[in-house]
Chains A and B, each alone.
Chain A
Amino acid sequence: MSARGPAVLIILLFMLGIGLIAHRHLQYDVPLLPGDSQTVWLVEARIDFVAQGEPVRVDMARPTRQTALVPLQETGASPGYGLNFIDQPYSRAVWTIREADGPQTLFYRSEVLVSPTQGNEPVPAPQMKQPQWPTPYASAIDDLLQQAQKTSADNLSLTRELLKLFAAEQPQQHVVLLNNRYNDNLPQLLVDMLHSAKVPAAVVYALELQDGRRNQVLLPMLKVWQGGDSQLFFLPGQEPVVTEPGQLLVWNPDGRPLLDVMGAQHSAVRFSMIRQQESAYGALSMQLSGHYDLFNFSIHALPIEEQAVFKTILLLPIGALIVCILRILVGLRTSGTFMPVLIALAFMQTSLWTGLIGFILVVAAGLLVRSYLSSLNLLLVARITAVIISVIAIVGLFSVVAYKFGLTEGLKITLFPMIILSWTIERMSILWEEEGPREVMVQGGGSLLTAVLAYLAMSHPWVQHLTFNFLGLQFVVLALVLMIGSYSGYRLLELRRFREFAH
């Protein structure tokens, strides 16, 4: 490698990277900071079903304007199908085809803008039914409704009182009875009960908006009308994880069925979503133009499921850059070159402290098991396999113990990639035998420190915003890595190692 080779390459990569970032910032108005922007959720529904060689009609509810959320642009992917978005009388997406056979997949995608000022759009109340129940359920229902009637003033307070009865920690006999009979269909039971009390209500389904989630299902909720207004209620045992307004997208605000499929079987719908930071103008211009030019390399054109994967993949170079800096410029010793990045990825699945404590506990316990296994005189491959199995057992044990102590955080350790833990344990124990515990502390500590720093960089919202929205940044990172790779001066820790030569 000549001395000028990397310099030219570095400058070219820098210019390319900065150019792409500037172009994307200026041309598409994508903000450089995550702060001065609006949140747009890309939500994708994937409908799978098996057609039977007949005409197929798929009719799906579409989310409409609602509290704090505004659907901006809708698209559908459906090879060979006719697709219509119908707004009257209800908001539906309808796919139709004359003939289809075998497994089919349809996509519906909506860009939803988070707009806290947006109020609830009134939806007409549904028709009420007069349901009938067999004995003894009818009397139990009557009794419960009477109890709720007594302590309420209007439709909404009646609903609250009724839900309170169902959510009670020591439920009444009636509630237990109904729970057992209508366990699978509790939301519909509650709606029917409200209808029999002349309260307009419907089951609606809402999507919890969490960044990068895939294969999500909808959360059933209760919607109750009071005059022209309506209000949403969470069902007992079905509370959402998200709490902020604008993180719950109601898919069928009118309470009509979510999916209606004719001419096919085994239909199922799953949801993916991803959060984007766009300036208001950027979101608008994207909508208006919808065309991607050569310089606008964009992973936004990919299906959301892939985008969610890319969101993580694009962070890896940042973690690797941290490793380069710590190893080449600082001189930290780690076990394995990029194992710290993988550990950092694992930390991102748990939280930092859970991950750190879990990692240390599991590795320490694993080292004990490994030292016992090595006295059994096993062949190497068998021993590593035994270590993996033991690690799974240890992780299981820790999860159960943590849960018993009321620490649900402990459960997240199960998401830790087993192979990283087993590998670390095996490597650390070999190091222990050959170089002694001190070297294990040096390398293990170096790895964990690197992993924590990589985690902090990779989980920073600004870094996540930049890596996802500006692919040009990858070229800048590459240029930095090449620069660090061309550095042949002293490492920071070598200044300490060779300090006696400094005078």
Chain B
Amino acid sequence: MWRRWLGIKRSGILGMNGRNRHYIGRYNDRTLYPLVDNKLKTKELADSYGIPTPALLHTVSRQHEVNDWHHHVPAGQGFVIKPVKGSGGKGIVVIDHHDQQQFVKTSGTVLSLADLQRHISNTLSGLHSLGGTPDSAIIEQRVTAAEAVQAFAYEGLPDIRVIVCCGFPVMAMTRLPTHESDGKANLHQGAIGVGLDMASGRAISAVQHGALVDRHPDTALPLAQLSVPGWSDLLTFAATCFDMTGLGYLGVDLVIDEHRGPLLLELNARPGLAIQVANQTGLLPRLKAAEQRRREALRWSPRQRVELAQQLFAHSNNPSKPDDSSSSSLS
């Protein structure tokens, strides 16, 4: 057991306690949490920093508005209902198309207007919100991911998670929904995590339930061929989220829209650790390299930080250990 402990430590794996104490505890001021926990605030903030987000169609914040929300949804088009203070994809309903009475989810399940009214009403009561506080629901335009990524997903929207430490994007993956994950991009529900090369946005390795996979189980496409278009822009948006929120340890969820390019979906102040498994490498060396430059990060533009990160964390040259991450102990 002790040898395993040492082996994992040597691989630079970040554990839950290390994440909570050394990164979230040290770099994420709790007063900043509302910025990421409230999707409306995140949207406004992103707009002011020039980061595009999915178009907001309507907001429902009172129970009596629950009965006529559907008039604000353009006929025929798909849309997404989200709790403003939800986390981890809780309470999100994606509608593919509808006729104002019958609402068809991407999986083909048909929901009635009453079903959705109840869902929104539950959301307002705080069923899906952090800590169960009263909440609002937002209705957003449904995003269709760019073909290059969407083709690999099944019945859902694949998103791209970038971990940003002290302003530097350090690790990234794309999460592909599967039949098992019910169209959701949550890894613990069975979605596939594909580690992405920081330099190029190409797939490195893919895992499902923590085990390596070559092909998507539903579409049978070889995952190694996945490559995210507009990679540098995407990383720049992710890096800008540091300036936007002031959070030093951040998970940025983005999606590549067919027409609009990278869009910010949501931010996460407590991003999970599975990204290490998807990338088959530990976060710690990269996090330390980023931490060492945290003073410079404040002067540099997001673009400059991304350029450095792409050099430091490129998969092909030096996958996990940048030359200058000299210290190996936590302090």
Q: List B contacts of A488 (CB < 8 A).
A: 15, 17-18, 20-22, 330
A490 with B9: in contact, given A380-B126, A380-B127, A498-B276 (CB under 8 Å)? yes
Report the nearest B residue to A502, measured CB to CB.
B7
**Complex: A495 Cα to B2 Cα, angstroms:** 10
Interchain Cβ contacts under 8 Å between A and B, 7 examples: A380-B126, A434-B91, A488-B330, A494-B13, A498-B11, A499-B8, A502-B3
A501 with B7: in contact, given A331-B16, A430-B127 (CB under 8 Å)? yes
Q: When the two chains form the complex, which single residue of B5, B22, B122, B276 contacts A490, counting CB atoms closer than 8 Å? A: B5
A303 at the interface (CB under 8 A from B): no
Query: Secondary structure at chain B's binding surface: helix, strand, loop or mixed?
Result: helix
| Shortest distance between the CB of B82 and any CB in chain A (Å) | 14
Cross-chain contact A501 with B11 (CB below 8 angstroms): yes
B4 at the interface (CB under 8 A from A): yes
A379 at the interface (CB under 8 A from B): yes
Cross-chain contact A489 with B4 (CB below 8 angstroms): no
B118 at the interface (CB under 8 A from A): yes
| Shortest distance between the CB of A48 and any CB in chain B (Å) | 44
Per-position 1/0 for A465-503, Cβ under 8 A of B: 000000000000000000000111111001101111111
Q: 10 closest A-B pairs (Cβ-Cβ)? A: A502-B7, A380-B125, A501-B11, A490-B15, A502-B4, A488-B21, A488-B18, A488-B17, A498-B13, A498-B8
| Shortest distance between the CB of B118 and any CB in chain A (Å) | 5
Report the nearest B residue to A3, measured CB to CB.
B331
Report the nearest B residue to A494, measured CB to CB.
B15
| Shortest distance between the CB of B321 and any CB in chain A (Å) | 14
A82 at the interface (CB under 8 A from B): no
Count of residues in B whose CB is under 8 Å from the partner chain: 36
**Complex: A439 Cα to B189 Cα, angstroms:** 9
Q: When the two chains form the complex, which single residue of A435, A439, A502 contacts B8, counting CB atoms closer than 8 Å? A: A502
B121 at the interface (CB under 8 A from A): yes
B220 at the interface (CB under 8 A from A): no
Cross-chain contact A495 with B4 (CB below 8 angstroms): yes
Q: List A contacts of B4 (CB < 8 A).
A: 495, 499, 502
| Shortest distance between the CB of B186 and any CB in chain A (Å) | 8
**Complex: A30 Cα to B122 Cα, angstroms:** 57
| Shortest distance between the CB of A425 and any CB in chain B (Å) | 14
Residues of A within 8 A of B (CB): 1, 3, 328, 331, 377, 379-381, 430, 434-436, 439, 486-491, 494-495, 497-503
**Complex: A3 Cα to B21 Cα, angstroms:** 11
Per-position 1/0 for B128-152, Cβ under 8 A of A: 1000000000000000000000000
**Complex: A328 Cα to B17 Cα, angstroms:** 7
Q: List B contacts of A498 (CB < 8 A).
A: 8, 11, 13, 15, 276-277
Q: List B contacts of A381 (CB < 8 A).
A: 125
Among A377, A495, A498, max chain B CB count under 10 A is at A498
Q: When the two chains form the complex, which single residue of A435, A489, A495 contacts B18, counting CB atoms closer than 8 Å? A: A489
**Complex: A500 Cα to B90 Cα, angstroms:** 30
B282 at the interface (CB under 8 A from A): yes
Q: List A contacts of B25 (CB < 8 A).
A: 1
**Complex: A291 Cα to B293 Cα, angstroms:** 63
B222 at the interface (CB under 8 A from A): no
| Shortest distance between the CB of A482 and any CB in chain B (Å) | 12
Q: List B contacts of A331 (CB < 8 A).
A: 16
Report the nearest A residue to B212, measured CB to CB.
A500
B298 at the interface (CB under 8 A from A): no
Q: List B contacts of A487 (CB < 8 A).
A: 17
A434 with B17: in contact, given A377-B118, A488-B330, A498-B277 (CB under 8 Å)? no
**Complex: A490 Cα to B330 Cα, angstroms:** 13
A486 with B21: in contact, given A377-B114, A491-B15, A497-B210 (CB under 8 Å)? yes
**Complex: A436 Cα to B126 Cα, angstroms:** 20
| Shortest distance between the CB of A468 and any CB in chain B (Å) | 33
Report the nearest A residue to B274, measured CB to CB.
A497
Q: When the two chains form the complex, which single residue of B17, B63, B122, B127 contacts A489, counting CB atoms closer than 8 Å? A: B17
Among A1, A331, A379, A380, max chain B CB count under 10 A is at A380
**Complex: A497 Cα to B210 Cα, angstroms:** 8
Report the nearest A residue to B276, measured CB to CB.
A498
**Complex: A494 Cα to B122 Cα, angstroms:** 35
Q: List A contacts of B15 (CB < 8 A).
A: 488-491, 494, 498
